[in-house]
Amino acid sequence: MIDKRATLIETATRLFHERGFWDTPTALIAREAGVANGTLFNYFPSKAALVEAVYLSLKQSWATHLQAAAPASGSVHDRLAGYWHGAIDWARAHPDRYALLGQLKLSDEIGDGARAHGIDMFGATLELIGEAMARGELHPIEPALLKALAEAQIGAAIEFLVNHPDAMAADTAHTSFEIFWRGIAVAPTGD
């Protein structure tokens, strides 16, 4: 059985990337998904609700990839490095989805509830950071600032790899993470 909701989200994701979400009518999404326009509104009461569903679908895909990429145990450094590498790997594997996610993050169509839910999907990462701060392993940085810094530096590494296709992705991910790590980690005594 075909999951019409998932099909509509996938179709909208593709069309939003190709045409922009402002220039993609719901009738086109429904037609491309093989459903009646009214059926789309059975699943999403408005286009804004569909845009939020696409946003959350992309965030979930990214969060799932990060969780799978990071070791379940080990040092904070190694676990955060796993998340970092996972973020870069996901963006490189899905450049269209990464670009669309970047656009949607800036959109007024994404409400506060969807934004909060999107952040909650990264709960394991945020929990690890909070615990490391409480133990004094990381500088006590405002979580929103730390998130913004990480996103900016991951974005810079991804942009570098897009513009330098011959660069070694693993080396770039490693170097960019180590620079970030030096900024957030409390140096052990004697360093």
pLDDT tens digits for range 51-66? 999 999 999 999 999 8
Q: Residue 3 and residue 109: Cα distance in Å, rounded?
A: 24
Q: Nearest CA to 35 among 77, 69, 79, 3?
A: 3
pLDDT for 123 equals 84
Neighbouring-strand partners of residue 185 = 138
Residues in the chain: 191
- The type of residue at 163 is N
3-state helix, strand, coil in the chain (%, to 5): 75, 0, 25
Write the pLDDT tens digit of every residue in 103-138: 999 888 899 999 999 888 888 888 889 999 999 999
Neighbouring-strand partners of residue 138 = 185
**CA-based torsion, 13, 15, 20, 21: positive or negative:** negative
Confidence (pTM):
0.88
All domains of the chain, ordered by start, with CATH? 1-45 (1.10.10.60), 50-184 (1.10.357.10)
Contact 133, 140 (CB under 8 A): yes
Residue 91 main-chain phi, psi, to 5 deg: -65, -40
Residue-averaged pLDDT of the chain: 91
Write the pLDDT tens digit of every residue in 70-104: 898 999 999 999 999 999 999 999 999 999 999 99
pLDDT for 18 equals 94
Q: Which two tokens stand for residue 52?
A: 């939020």
